[in-house]
């Protein structure tokens, strides 16, 4: 398996930073700043450049995990980090003002990556939001990308086993996608 | 809410911080006529005050400066080098200098044209940062 670069995207407060900290085997490189925008997300800090973590695979291969800032004022980081990525882990918190709209916005912003690479969607904080969020997100995701079957998970970004299962689903989608791209060439 | 609990006001909405920031940037302009633009911003990328020569600063400078400052501090931390003092970008037609206001969640971003010497940009921005830091510390 070659080295994989995975991008964690999603709105502010979705759990991108938490998920990378949960999964990474190295001390995460983080760029948290004091959060002054408590209306967007009521938390102490927010990511202003990136998160970076790693998972070793076999003897000398790695999965590199990059997280972006959620706020669109940092969208230049989305462009930069999207370029090298091969898979998109899209996280949406169930208690977001409108999770379904957020999925559409995020898939729009990361469409380039979603089209050429692997894609999974994780609904975080699901115990804090409406019950039907996963179903509604599944519906909108398959309407937006009808040719794909996109796995949608309910996950807790703090839970290692859940995040690991979701990441492995993404890695196999990345490999399937790469295989398809090669075959169509 | 208890009586002693005080609402923390974000720096970019705090009149005391905004007023001090505007005055500090005006002083910077006087010392450095070749300043293209300067911004004071919160750690999380919100503009507090700006001084521009001719619309020279992009409105995304605040977000970009916040990202770059955080990356610079992350690298210094990673290498065990302690606090980073300033970050400097040298381009063909000018330079950008980023500097933390000590003990405040505030960053200075200065854009200078290529007539300015590096030494002057560094020393004048340090003076601004020191004075603003002292003023805000005594205002609290
Ligand atoms: N209750 C609950 N909290 C969660 C869950 N997943 C993540 N969180 C919390 O939600 C917050 C997400 O913040 P953060 O990781 O900074 O989000 P980011 O802006 O996407 O990086 C953290 O406080 C997490 O502990 C979940 O499934 N349930
Ligand atoms: Mg984050």
Q: What is the CATH number of the domain that holds B17?
A: 3.30.450.30
Q: Is residue B90 part of a domain?
A: yes
3-state secondary structure of A98: coil
pTM: 0.92
Which strand (E) or helix (H) includes residue B109?
strand B106-113
Q: Is residue B49 part of a domain?
A: yes
3-state secondary structure B19-71: HHHHHHHHHHHHHCCCEEEEEEEECCCCEEEEEECCCCCCCCHHHHHHHHHHH
Q: Is residue B2 part of a domain?
A: no
Which atom of ligand 1 sits closest to the CA of residue A70? Answer: 19
Q: Is residue B3 part of a domain?
A: no
The finding on whether A15 has its CB within 6 A of some atom of ligand 1 is: yes
Place of tokens 């923390």: B8
Give me the sheet containing B47-52, strands edge to edge: B47-52, B35-42, B106-113, B94-101, B86-91
The finding on whether A99 has its CB within 6 A of some atom of ligand 1 is: no
Q: Is the dihedral of CA B1, B5, B10, B13 positive or negative?
A: positive
DSSP B91: E
ipTM of predicted complex: 0.90
CA B28 – ligand 2 centroid, Å: 34
For residue B5, the model assigns a pLDDT of 44
For residue B3, the model assigns a pLDDT of 40
Tell me the ligand closest to A93's alpha carbon.
1
CA A101 – ligand 2 centroid, Å: 20
Q: Is residue B6 part of a domain?
A: no
How many folded domains does chain B comprise?
Answer: 1
Q: Are A29 and A52 in contact (CB under 8 A)?
A: yes
The finding on whether A16 has its CB within 6 A of some atom of ligand 1 is: yes
Q: Does domain A4-184 have CATH number 3.40.50.300?
A: yes
A40 touches chain B (CB under 8 A): no
From chain A, the residues in CB contact with B67 under 8 A are 31, 48-49, 69, 74, 76-77
For residue A39, the model assigns a pLDDT of 87
DSSP secondary structure string, A32-86?
EEE---TTT---SEEEEEEEEEEEEETTTEEEEEEE--SSGGGHHHHHHHHHH-S
Q: Is residue B4 part of a domain?
A: no
Q: For A34-70, how does the pLDDT look when each residue is reduced to its tens digit (9 = 90+)?
A: 999 988 889 999 999 999 999 998 777 899 999 999 9
Q: For B45-90, how does the pLDDT look when each residue is reduced to its tens digit (9 = 90+)?
A: 999 999 876 555 567 899 999 999 999 999 999 999 988 889 999 9
Q: For B102-113, how does the pLDDT look when each residue is reduced to its tens digit (9 = 90+)?
A: 999 999 999 998
Q: For A75-124, how does the pLDDT look when each residue is reduced to its tens digit (9 = 90+)?
A: 999 999 999 999 999 999 999 999 999 999 999 999 999 999 999 999 99
Average pLDDT over residues A136-156: 96
Q: Is residue B27 part of a domain?
A: yes
Give the domain range for residue B118: 11-139
Percent of chain A with pLDDT over 90: 88
* CA pair distance A82, B90, nearest whole angstrom: 26
In this structure, the strands spanning A118-124 and A87-93 are parallel
Q: For chain B, what is the radius of gyration of the CA atoms? A: 15
Burial class from Cβ neighbours inside 10 Å (0-12, 13-18, 19+) for residue A175 reads: middle
Say whether A33 and B46 touch across the interface (CB within 8 A).
Answer: no
In this structure, the strands spanning B35-42 and B106-113 are antiparallel
Neighbours of A148 (CB within 10 A): 14
Å between B106 CA and nearest CA of chain A: 10
Q: Is residue B5 part of a domain?
A: no
Tell me the ligand closest to A153's alpha carbon.
1
Average pLDDT over residues A18-22: 98
CA A65 to mean position of chain CA atoms: 10
Whether the pLDDT of residue A7 is over 70: the answer is yes
Tell me the ligand closest to A48's alpha carbon.
2
pLDDT band at A2 (very low <50, low <70, confident <90, very high): low
Pocket test for ligand 1, best of A8, A9, A15 (most atoms within 8 A of CB): A15
The finding on whether A51 has its CB within 6 A of some atom of ligand 1 is: no
DSSP A102: H
* CA pair distance A144, A124, nearest whole angstrom: 21
* CA pair distance A59, A40, nearest whole angstrom: 42
């Amino acid at each position: 398996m070659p080295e994989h670069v995975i991008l964690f995207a999603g709105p502010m407060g979705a759990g991108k930073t938490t998920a990378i900290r949960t999964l990474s085997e190295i001390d995460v490189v983080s760029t948290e700043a004091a959060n002054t925008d408590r209306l967007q997300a009521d938390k102490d800090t927010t990511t202003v450049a990136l998160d970076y973590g790693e998972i070793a695979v076999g003897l000398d291969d790695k999965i590199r995990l990059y997280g972006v800032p959620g706020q669109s004022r940092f969208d230049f980081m989305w462009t930069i980090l999207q370029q090298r990525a091969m898979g998109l882990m899209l996280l949406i918190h169930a208690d977001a003002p409108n999770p379904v709209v957020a999925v559409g916005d995020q898939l729009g912003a990361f469409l380039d990556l979603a089209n050429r690479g692997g894609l999974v969607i994780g609904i975080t904080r699901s115990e804090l939001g409406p019950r039907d969020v996963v179903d509604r997100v599944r519906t909108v995701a398959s309407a937006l990308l009808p040719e794909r079957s996109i796995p949608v998970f309910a996950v807790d970004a703090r839970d290692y086993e859940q995040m690991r299962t979701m990441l492995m689903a993404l890695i196999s989608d990345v490999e399937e996608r790469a295989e398809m791209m090669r075959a169509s060439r | 809410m208890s009586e002693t609990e005080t609402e923390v006001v974000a720096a970019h909405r705090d009149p005391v911080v905004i007023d001090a920031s505007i005055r500090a940037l005006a002083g910077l302009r006087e010392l450095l006529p070749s300043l293209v633009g300067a911004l004071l911003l919160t750690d999380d990328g919100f503009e507090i005050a700006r001084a521009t020569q001719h619309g020279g600063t992009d409105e995304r400078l605040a977000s970009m400066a916040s990202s770059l400052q955080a990356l610079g501090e992350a690298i210094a931390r990673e290498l065990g080098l302690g606090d980073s003092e300033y970050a400097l970008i040298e381009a063909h037609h000018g330079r950008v200098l980023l500097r933390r206001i000590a003990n405040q969640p505030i960053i200075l971003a200065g854009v200078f044209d290529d007539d300015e010497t590096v030494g002057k940009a560094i020393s004048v921005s340090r003076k601004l940062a020191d004075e603003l830091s002292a003023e805000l510390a005594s205002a609290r």
